[in-house]
Amino acid sequence: MAVLRPDDAGTTWVRINDDTHQWGWTGEVITGDPRVHGRVHLGTNGRGIQYAEPE
């Protein structure tokens, strides 16, 4: 399952995981970080919390 994020209001999308780093079910919790622009947090249903931010 690919987890994607947009950098330009949804025109293009960047994959933030890869086939080697699959996470648990990520559909339950996803939120933007109110303190860091562009950072998102994903709850992985028991496999920890992952985050991604623009490079």
3-44 pLDDT tens trace = 787 778 889 988 877 888 776 665 677 889 999 988 888 887
Q: Which pLDDT score is estimated for 23?
A: 62
Question: Cα dihedral angle (20, 24, 27, 33), rounded to 10 degrees?
Answer: -80
Structure confidence at residue 27 (pLDDT): 63
Report field, pTM of the whole predicted structure over 0.85: no
The reported pLDDT for the residue numbered 29 is 79
Q: For residue 24, how many other CB atoms are within 10 A of its CB?
A: 15
Predicted local confidence at residue 33, as pLDDT: 92
- At residue 2 the predicted structure's pLDDT band, cuts being 50, 70 and 90, is confident
